[in-house]
Each structure stands twice: as C-alpha cells, then as structure tokens.
Structure 1
Amino acid sequence: MNTNYQMWITGNAEQEKLQIPVLPQKFSVSIGSKNTSVDVTGLGEITIKQSRPAYQFSFSSFFPRTNFPGIENVPLTDPQQCVERINGWIDSKKPVHIIITGAGINEYCTIEKFNHYEEGGDVGTIHYDLTLKEYREVTVRQVSVAGSTATVQPAETRVDNTTTPKTYTVKKGDCLWNIAKSLYGSGADYTKIYDANKGTVGSNPNRIYPGQVLTIPE
C-alpha cells in the first residue's frame, strides 16, 4: 500500500470522521459537459459554452471485519458502525467533505449512492459502492450602486455542513439499555448514549428520570 495516500470522509464541521480502511483499486472522477451546439447560416456549427457540471466521484471497497496487512496503521472500526456513520450523513441532508491526501482531492460533496452488502465466506465484512457529487453552495452577490458605477461584493462561499444533534426525552419506565435498543437496534450501545450525556445523567447510568433530554450520538 502507498502510505502517501489516505482517504477521509468527514461531516458535521469535521467533528465526525471516517477514514477509508482499505483503499479502492479504482477511484473514478467524471465530469460531463453542458455545452450546446447550434447551426448558424453562413457560419456552420457554433458551440455555446456553459458552466461546467459538478464533478462526480465513485469507488468500491470494503469495511473489513478483521485486521490484515492492507489496513496497517489504520484503526479497525466495526463495519456496521461505518455503515451507520454514512447512513447518518445521508439522513442529515448535509454535504460531507472528502479528502484524498496525495491526490489533490479536497471537495464538499453530497452522497448520491451508497450500496452495501456481505459476501459468503467472510461474515461481518461489508462491501460497498459509494458515489459522491460535488456540492456547490448557492450564493448571492451584493451589488452597490453609487452614481453611474456599480460595485459587486464577492460572495461568501464557505460550506456549512454542521448538523443539529438528535435528542430524546426520557419517559417513565425508560432505561438507557431500552433506549439504545430502540434507537440503535442493540441495547449494548447504551454506553454511547451514556458517554454523550454524563453531564446530565451523572456517575450512575441507571439513574435517568422522566423529562431529561438526552443527546443521541450517531
């Protein structure tokens, strides 16, 4: 593996990060054209230039269940957690940030397609196909008119992909185990909720009360 290359996808103002553990064998970058052509009498075909369409990035790889030399020096993350992280970004309807060190790719993108599946013989490893599309912030330029001259102020192009944390209001009879089972599908994930709410819950995760508002991490 060429250690000069690393692939990262981040979200929520860089607070949520996912390093791609196994670099894909192929990374595709595509860009089309919106140019149109017209025939003008006496001149022939003329091409009318249009603004370029967005870049599209696509690749396939897998989230491994166990360590192997291809992911040396990359912390191993549970494949299902990787899938949940990507699905969380899709649900947030906010752009993500894709960075490929050594390749010059540093773009905000929307996740256009995410397919994942398991194959026989390697239960727990999750294979996936991912397609992302360049995100462009919609901006409005301000024009100031003084006398007969007009000054155009440059537009702010900073992308804000901050997401609002999810919350849950405790009801009578709730416990962190049951809340985690309902929200994550596994009661054992109650520690994620507890770690994010120690300031509210205190030192005993078994003591929660109706009306408490808990932050629910992705």
Structure 2
Amino acid sequence: MFFHFPVNPIDSLTINRSKKFETVDLINFGEVDFSSPCGKKIKEISFNTILPGRPDSFCRYLDIHKAEDTIKKLEQWMEQKEPIRLVITRLNINELVIISELPEDIRAGESDDKYITLTFRVYREPKIESLPVISNGSKQVQLKNNRPKRNSASGGYIVKPGDTLYKIAKSKLGKGSKWKIIYNKNKNVIGKNPNIVYPGMRLII
C-alpha cells in the first residue's frame, strides 16, 4: 500500500545523524568521550505536515483521505513490527523506517485539520554472528590446572592460646629460629615486644 502525504512538509525537514560514543566522568578531571570502535546510532528523519479536513489549493492532490483515517493508518504502521518504506524523491531518501513518534496538534478554529509531527528511525536488520561448534568426537579432553602453586606455609594464621612466635615459626616455617620473619611481617599487629602475642591475632606468615 502506498500513501502520499497531501501536503509537503511545513517549515523544514530534519535529518538527525549522531555519533556513538561513551562518556566517562573521571575524578579530578571531568568528562571524557570515548568513541565506539564499531557500531553507529540510528539516523532519524522528522518533519511537520498538515492533514487537511478538505481539499485546498495547497494540497498536492484533491482526492484526499479523511484526516482521522490517515492518522489511524499511521498508528497501525507505527505499532506493527515490520518496517515501512519512506520515499522523499527530492532528497533522494529511500529507506526502510519505523515510525517512532506521532504527536498530533489540533488548533482552535481548525478542528477538521490535523497538524502532525512524524519522526522516523531508519530500520537496521540486526546481524547475529554464529560461532562454529568444534566437535572433538569421542576423544576425552583433559583440563589443565593453570593456577599457580601456592606454598602451603604461606598465608594467614590466627594465634591460639599458648602460641609464641617461636612455636608458630616451627609449625609453619619448619624452624623456630625463623620467628623474626613472622615478626617483621607483623610488627604493626604484634607491637614492640615480639615475646607477647594474643589469641585471636591474625598474622601474615
């Protein structure tokens, strides 16, 4: 089905093109724009026109539809899932579009005439890429543990009643004489006297 607007756009026709980017607000610096490496924003086309209640000298043709019927048809096109084709010959516009906005203005003394503003968004077919599925047949795949090995002696330790740094060093490091290593790592927790540790202290070994 084709529909020709009976009246050309009033005042102007707007084509909105905008760049896709992300704005990040950095502390002590302000906003910074980062351009998107791929993708773009949808182009919008909008214009104002009038749907006259009866034929007039400014109409492009005289066999016009009722304004109410035209608005109902535009509403149907706006609600449908399929895009429609917008053709504006003088501007070489021939695009699949969807109607995103359709405000209507009824002015005093012109109840038969409908002033509308149409906004179209150029339709883009979404492209979904499929990743190939790799089949390994009946072969068994062994997963390797790539996590770094951790020294069992390293980590944290919670002091228990009766513990001393010498006793902890002997238990965790293999030699009691290594108590200074533990003390040097935990001076801020133990304090100035290495001979006193309290149950519940969390030490780094």
Give the shorter-chain TM-score range.
Answer: 0.5 to 0.7
TM-score using structure 1 length: 0.50
Mapping of 1:61-100 within 5 angstroms?
A: 61-73=49-61, 75-100=63-88
How much does 1:36 deviate?
Answer: 4.8
Q: Is 1:30 aligned to 2:16, yes or no?
A: yes
In structure 2, distance between residues paired with 1:61 and 1:83: 12
In structure 2, distance between residues paired with 1:37 and 1:81: 44
> Where does the alignment leave 5 or more consecutive residues of structure 1 unmatched?
1-15, 40-44, 145-218
Mapping of 1:43-192 within 5 angstroms?
A: 49-73=37-61, 75-140=63-128
**Greater radius of gyration (CA):** 2
How much does 1:91 deviate?
Answer: 2.4
Kept in 2: contact 1:35–1:50 (CA 8 A) = no
In structure 2, distance between residues paired with 1:143 and 1:74: 56
Once the two structures are superposed, what CA deviation does each residue of 1:119-158 show, in whole Å capped at 9, x if it has no partner? 12122111111111111112345789xxxxxxxxxxxxxx
In structure 2, distance between residues paired with 1:72 and 1:34: 38
In structure 1, distance between residues paired with 2:23 and 2:72: 45
In structure 2, distance between residues paired with 1:54 and 1:74: 35
Distance 1:46 1:67, change over 3 A: closer
| Correspondence for 1:17 | 2
In structure 1, distance between residues paired with 2:8 and 2:34: 43
Kept in 1: contact 2:104–2:116 (CA 8 A) = yes
Distance 1:120 1:138, change over 3 A: same
In structure 2, distance between residues paired with 1:126 and 1:104: 27
Distance 1:37 1:76, change over 3 A: closer
TM-score using structure 2 length: 0.53
| Residue type of the alignment partner of 2:45 | F
SS at match of 1:122: coil
Once the two structures are superposed, what CA deviation does each residue of 1:49-104 show, in whole Å capped at 9, x if it has no partner? 43221100111111001222211435311111100100111222321211101211
Distance 1:91 1:51, change over 3 A: closer
In structure 1, distance between residues paired with 2:34 and 2:68: 53
Provide the identity percentage.
19
| Residue type of the alignment partner of 2:58 | G
| Residue type of the alignment partner of 1:82 | T
Larger strand share, 1 or 2: 1
| Residue type of the alignment partner of 1:67 | P
Q: What is the aligned residue count?
A: 125
In structure 2, distance between residues paired with 1:60 and 1:48: 32
Structural RMSD (CA) = 2.7
| Correspondence for 1:184 | none
